Structure 1
């Protein structure tokens, strides 16, 4: 409060002037307090970030960042943890025992290993083992189709499968060697605590041989426990495996016969019908 210049508190008019000045000061102070309170209330109610037009996208991006950060941390923990490293060492042990890698130093793939690296199949090591044992060599396209079918077919019915059919005694003997190779590999996997590969199954050999020989679909599946969709799905997998062997088999004649299997099998419904994954 600013007092009048002539200080004279004994005069009535002076005292009245002082009272009016004090009243004005109180009104101004109250008005300023209310204004400050209103501004504070607005500031508390609405944060500037809330006025950002891209707020929703920014919040979504922040959530994704947090999830990705957690995923990276979990993967890093797995990589640095003992389990993954032990599994790698066990797999490397199997590959070294069977001549696919040379642990060196330096670590390197052998010729067998380079072939294995080009085989893409759930039982790739078993396929490579049979390939290098010559079990696919020296047979015609129909017999080769029957042998390759054992790697792509799996009996799914709860009923026991019927006895397998083979086009010749030689193919039956080769199947037995495939089966023995699988059992030997499975023993290695189990001894090292690894997951085992899916064992081969000869239940599709007759259908594969008949289809590659040119038989109609109705004739091929007449005596088989197969739906049309199962047949097409399995045959497409066989075609894929045959095409791979046409590129990687060490023997030229085996590559030629594998290409022939793929060409003969990829016809009719196998070529025309897209197949959904099994339920």
Structure 2
């Protein structure tokens, strides 16, 4: 009798153990299954859109390879001024796969028709970096504050003689507001070109927060590094803004 009872208990224990194994083998239903991310190669280079042309471009790396600069001249070939535009840069690895993408900012709110603006993008070089893709396009988002501003470009300027190319290089001069309106949020950018006419560096200049009509004010731009000391030409691009009255 006791043997039959022992056999029955043993059989029940085996069946219970098998049931637990089956339960443990069942897949969890509360964990979502995520699709595999597919990364496609990106063609390196510069992509201008919407009749925004990259007239000149150069790329430089610091001697230690930790910092990079992309220097551009963006030309507006549209028959109208461009208010909203954006430059995005994708840093690529040796297989042209994206490592990092970021948007570059610009101090100029508008680009007049047929006008070229210098532009610099600097970044820390990530591990595995090999190449880049820069994309220039108009932003379709409406910005009413920038639409209400009238831009005045090509303000007359003077540049003081550069007596030394030792770094940091400082460029000084003056800007004159020869327009009938007081200008707010003035933007002054100094662009350096080498002896062949290639753009090599761009720096924003410091000056006053506003220019009264007829006022001449000093400016100063500092370049902490240069890819070459064969300096050719220095150009100043400036703009000031005023609000149109209703």
Give the TM-score of the pair, scaled to structure 2: 0.28
Give the TM-score of the pair, scaled to structure 1: 0.26
Determine which structure has the larger helix proportion and give its number. Answer: 1
Determine which structure has the larger strand proportion and give its number. Answer: 2
Q: Highest CA radius of gyration, 1 or 2?
A: 1
